[in-house]
Structures are given as structure tokens and as C-alpha cells.
Chains A and B, each alone.
Chain A
């Protein structure tokens, strides 16, 4: 039995160029194509987002031109909420309280190509292979599966438009192949002229009179977090991509923010003094594939956010140590 396996494997590699993939396994082409399409294509459409038994729809418009990337994401159900992005600036509109928060996107330079580190992490942690071809919203798509090599992360399945590479559908599945969350485009226009005025209603609110109502931008200081904190149990395959002291909640209070990535999923660990966080909810909260777990550790509040299974999030939070302990 084993002899046959080894022989087949060896013959296969002898017969094909060294870079060829095993069976239906695909290389890193698809992730590259998808990332490129996401950031370099003009499109507008409506998608349905499903999670935890909920279903909501949202509209997205994306324009890429000489001046960069501009996009808008707005909820179509309930109170109006929207994100508008102009290159590395993100505005957050929350309709009911007329407040606008500004998030500064930190590392937007990485687009459109995926970083080599990210690609090799993807390759290490997931088996990437093509699945069925399907028609979604009138487009022919190819399904690509990112199957983790362990149980520490979720399976991701994406349906990419064969011509443009845009994602028409994406699902996150747990170990039992149950869907944790998914979004599906129900309508999509690709390419051509996208109506700009339609897209940027928020432009006017970025005028100076509104500006004064803004919360302070969540600036990220250049100062790296001191290594006084240690996250002892980061799941295998996750690499630290950032460690910063930054402000959050629009206040001048420092939060230490660690970010880890396995190429597809991210984990953030936030550590702050717990004093004024009386309103914060402790324990586990979830939205689709994102889980948040908060706990008090001595005088500090530790919050872990990640697109990973809930048990992993809890384990990570429990492993946060103050150095010297």
C-alpha cells in the first residue's frame, strides 16, 4: 500500500514540472487574482450577509482610478450605517446619531499584491484547492477552498468570477463543515463607469463643520508597544505582524494592540487598563466568524478579536501574561 503511494507520488513529480500542484490543489495564483480584482476593479453591487441565523443586505461600490481606491459599504437594513474609504482614510457613518468616526487605515501600501509573507503563511496553514464551478448572480464562478491543516482555524470557501476574479460569494465553515457565516452577491455590475455621486454621498459631511464633530482619529503611534506583555498561546501558524501602542475609543488612553495573521485569518489582542471600562462586556461575543473575548487580568482588560474558532480566542486571552509572571 505504502509502496504504491510513494511510487505514485514520485512518478507524479517526475512527470510534471517542479512547480505543478498535487491533484486539484492550486497554487497561490487564485488568492493573488482575487486580491488584485478586489482592489483594482470597478464594481458595484448588493450582497446578502448571513451569520448566526441572521440575514442582512448591504451595498458596496468600489472605484479604482489614478487617484487610488474609493469605496463605500452601506447597510440596507435598519438604521443607516456606512463606511467610506478614500485610499488610506476610512469614515464611519452611523446614521442615527449623526456621528462620524474616522479610522486611519494603517498599511494600505500593501495593495494590490499580496505580500510574500502572507502568501507563504497561506501556503503553510491551508491546503488550497479548486472545487466546483457554479453560476452565481448570473456569473460563472470557480470555487476555491482554503482548508486548514488543523482545527485551529476555519475553512474558507470562495467563489471567484472566472473572468475578473471578483468574489461573488464567500463562506466560512467550521470543523464540521457547517457554515459560520457567508456573503453572496445578489446583484453586481463589474467594470464600466460607476456613478460617483451616487457613491459618495458622504463627501459633503467631510466638510470642516462636520469635521469638528469627529471623534479623535484612532491614531497609531510609531512607538512600538513595550514587550511587557506576552501572548503565550498563539495558535500554530499565526505570525505577529504588528505590535503597537495606540489610542482607541477616540480617547487619549493607550491600548496595546498585537496583530497576528495566518495568511487568511487575523487575531488582534488588545490590552488596556481596566479602570474605566465599566460598560464593556466581559466574556465571549460573536458575529459570524468573528469572535471577541474579553476578560480582566489583574488591573487590565484583555480583549481578543479574531476570525478563528471561539475556543482559540478564549485560549489566547487566557494565555496573556505580564512579563515576569
Chain B
């Protein structure tokens, strides 16, 4: 089974009423979808809202998903549409907004603090997470780092990685796991302290 089949497995479960399975898909695709949406929507608070909205829409539309395309292409399509709707709604609201420009710009700073995502603390967290992951990756033994990189960045299958690294598939599987676990161990103190598990 490939990655697409795992998604389909989760979709099947979700279509049978298992919300938890859908949440695993959310965890998996949230950042990829947010990144896609950020191509349309500039404001980072809005990106988060639109991403949430897209997942909820996807959940509601799940009965109509028949597995003819990959789950992520279907999800991306919903994401793009949700982003466009958001922009259209903004455009419609535009005339009203300009009327209150003065007031809004005064209150702007406060308003942005209401959303946790745009606080400096969160930006700092984001930077720390990136730093920890990158530095942990560099500290890994060569073969672990290579295996994980081939998997996550090049998206090769275990078999392809085995061929590239000239080792058995079982070894690839264990190297990738050890690499992930080593990085995750370094991340845990950071993740453990972050409020509401924002990372």
C-alpha cells in the first residue's frame, strides 16, 4: 500500500462515521493546505481561518468523495475554492470597510493580538521549531539523515530509498523511524510547553 492508500483508508473510516480518522488527515495535511491557501490569502490570521473552514467543508462533503482522485487533490480543490470565496467576500465588503478605515486602523493593533497565531510568541515558536528540527537533522548520523531526507523531501518510497542507499528495505524503515524519533525527542520539550499544543 502506498501513501494514497493510507489516505483512502482514513477516508473510508471517516465515511463510516469515524471523526478521529478525519482528524489524522487534518494533522497530516493542515500545513500543506495552509501553505497553499497562503498563496491566495496574505493575512496570516485569515489563512488559519480559511484553512479551518476548508477542512470543515471537506468533512461535510466527505460523503461525496468517491476516491477517484487522491484525497489531497480533492482537499486542495476545496482549499482553493474556500480561499477564493474568502477573497470574494472581502471584495464585497470592501466599500464598507473603507468607510471605517480610520477607526479600524486605530484598533488594528489590539485586534491582531486577539489571534494567537500572529503574536510574536508564536513567531518565535515557529522559528524555534524550525531551528530544532534543522539542527537535530544535522546532528543525525549520515545514513539516518539521508534516509529521512530522501523520504520527506524527495518523497521516495522505501524501495527506492533502499536502492539508492544500497541496503535492505527493513533497514530503510528503521533508519527513517530512528531519524524521526531522534528529532521528535529534541522537539518534545518545546512542544510540551507550548500552550494548547499549537505546534
Contacts and interface: CB of A to CB of B under 8 A. Distances in A.
Q: Tell whether any CB of A sits under 8 Å from a CB of B in the complex.
A: yes
Interface of A: 1-3, 5-6, 9-10, 13-14, 18-19, 22, 116, 119-120, 123-124, 127, 149-152, 236-237
Contacts of A124: 57, 81, 85
Interface residues of B, number: 29
Interface in B1-16: 3-4
A291 B121 CA distance: 58
Contact of A120 (B4, B61, B72, B88): B88
Contact of B64 (A2, A3, A150): A150
Given A10-B36, A149-B64, A116 B92 contact: yes
Contact of A14 (B4, B39, B64, B80): B39
B53 to A, nearest CB: 12
A5 B63 CA distance: 25
Nearest to B70: A2
Interface in B67-95: 70, 72-73, 76-77, 80-81, 84-85, 87-89, 92
A116 B80 contact: no
Contact of B60 (A6, A119, A152, A236): A236
Q: Nearest 8 CB-CB pairs, A to B?
A: A150-B64, A3-B155, A13-B39, A18-B40, A120-B85, A236-B64, A123-B81, A236-B61
B20 interface: no
B143 to A, nearest CB: 22
A10 B36 CA distance: 7
B32 interface: yes
B110 interface: no
Given A123-B81, A236-B63, A3 B36 contact: no
Nearest to B3: A2
A127 B80 CA distance: 12
A116 B88 contact: yes
B154 interface: yes
A152 B64 contact: yes
Contacts of B70: 2
Contacts of A9: 36, 76
Given A2-B70, A19-B87, 7 more contacts: A3-B153, A9-B36, A18-B87, A123-B81, A123-B84, A150-B64, A151-B64
